[in-house]
Amino acid sequence: MLSAVADAKREGKRDDVDTVFASHYVQVCLPKFHMPRSETPKEVAYQVIHDELLLDGNPRLNLASFVTTWMEPEFDKLILEAINKNYIDMDTYPISTELQDRCVNMVARLLNAPIKDGEPAVGAGCIGSSEAIMLAGLAFKRKWQNKRKSQGLPWDKPNMVTGANVQVCWEKFARYFEVELREVKLREGYYIMDPEKAVQMVDENTICVAGILGSTYNGEFEDIKLLNDLLLEQNARTGWDTPIHVDGASGGFIAPFICPDLEWDFRLPLVKSINVSGHKYGLVYAGVGWVVWRSKADLPEELIFHVNYLGTDQPTFTLNFSKGASHLIAQYYQFIRLGHNGYKRVMQNCRENALYLRDAVDATGHFHILSKREGVPLLAFSLKDRCQFDEYDVADNLKRFGWILPAYTMAPGAEHITLLRAVVREDFSRTLADRLVRDIIRTIEYLKDRAAKSTSQFTPPVPRNQVPCEDNVKRIGEEFVRRLRLKAAASRSQGVC
């Protein structure tokens, strides 16, 4: 681009052509490794970047993501009005700070924190649940270390217990902050942490047990109540005081509205902290999460930093410093816009659409359903017959219709199972559910037809009442590869590229 601009100036060409696509700027590729020396007109810079971004997937059809992909237009106005505000500058933006504090109090009370009317809750707004989990983990680690030091006991080998189905941010925490991660392996037919096995892994060095309200793999809620009861018995027997953290990234904004009687939150005495993702079922665009503690006693004071170089004393407990205020404001907007009843209606709609999708996909007869009817509104499913194609083929071919569904293997202990997942968010309508099912059926038919055509070249037709066994399919594949190699060798001998 630099040389093209220089050449254009030497040749006396105009740079101010009104039509972007008639300018010389679109005749060269955008810089990829070095910053250009000269400016580019704003209209051109916008247009060429905008056009390249057209090759991204459609967020609304990205069923791999739990993250919110639609908000009301009024929020767009708020985010633009606050996009230049740095939340950490609390003295300059006191109202933004107050809105964040209001959200912390609303989240804590939604999760049944034992705080009195008018009493401030203990919590923080975060970039997402990943940061929230890091902060909660650090609080557990520091509190455990302080207790061990006071007792004159070793404090250099902390561990934490989770299911093997935890999100990768837990593995990051363990590796970054040097905590041994003890994972309860899954097993076929049971795809969440077994509370009994988790408690068996606990010892005096365990800083916490992490339960998940909404597994990333199949959306299932873990039995936090049973985990709490088993740990209470063990703590009473051993003298330990092993606490619980609940990772409510996916389900923390779901259960309070459609499963209000489910005991998983601060109603259980051993639950000391909970994280939730505002940018998932909190219904805010990506970039906001929340962590709340049961009480001040559960957040060691030495983890809170006080700075005054922005104009006043400001306490902060974050992994980063600067942070945009717009998404915190967006969370408050959703809380007052929807209220409890509005959130309940949204979650009920998501659940009903997920159940509708589940029944429709199950009715095709091609899949095993691996998600539960109660849990995060999603559908996790795997092929019954993987003889001719697998879940990766299905996911790849659904992209022809615009759908983005992930194909992946289960967590350790059940990694031999491959599955597909469709997350049902607020903007996934019944009409889209119908369309997805039709496109899944079309994809299966296409893959079957393709497999039949690829094998019919080398083998006689299979009678309708005879299904090829795995050995036969393997032989067909080997013969297919052998013939391809012979054809390639013949082409090379004839000088054909």
Residue 324 belongs to domain with CATH number: 3.40.640.10
CA distances from 4 to 10, 17, 23, 115, 154 (A): 10, 15, 11, 66, 67
- How many domains does one find in the chain? 3
The answer to whether residue 420 is domain-embedded is: no
CA distance 95 to 106: 16
CA distances from 315 to 103, 312, 352, 359 (A): 17, 10, 43, 51
The answer to whether residue 115 is domain-embedded is: yes
Residue 15 sits in the same domain as residue 99: no
pLDDT (0 to 100) of residue 152? 97
Residue 487: domain span: 457-493
The answer to whether residue 254 is domain-embedded is: yes
The answer to whether residue 377 is domain-embedded is: no
pLDDT in tens, 396-453: 999 999 999 999 999 999 999 999 999 999 999 999 999 999 999 999 999 999 998 8
Closest CA to 240 of 203, 277, 198, 268: 203
Residue 76 pLDDT more than 80?
yes
Write the CATH number for 21: 4.10.280.50
Residue 40 sits in the same domain as residue 137: no
The answer to whether residue 121 is domain-embedded is: yes
In our burial notation (b when 16+ CB lie closer than 10 A, e otherwise), range 388-419 reads: bbbbebbbebbeeeebbbbbbebbebbeebbb
- What are the residues whose beta carbons fall under 8 Å from the beta carbon of 39, sequence distance 6 or more? none
- What is the distance in angstroms between the CA of the first residue and the CA of the last residue of the chain? 35
Beta strands in 229-358 (DSSP E): 244-248, 271-277, 289-293, 305-307, 314-316
Residue 40 sits in the same domain as residue 164: no
pLDDT in tens, 111-170: 999 999 989 999 999 999 999 999 999 999 999 999 999 999 999 999 999 999 999 999
Are 24 and 3 a contacting pair, CB within 8 Å?
no
Overall average pLDDT of the 232-242 stretch = 98
pLDDT in tens, 193-233: 999 999 999 999 999 999 999 999 999 999 999 999 999 99
Residue 40 sits in the same domain as residue 93: no
The answer to whether residue 389 is domain-embedded is: no
* Exposed/middle/buried for residue 361 (C-beta within 10 Å: 0-12, 13-18, 19+): buried
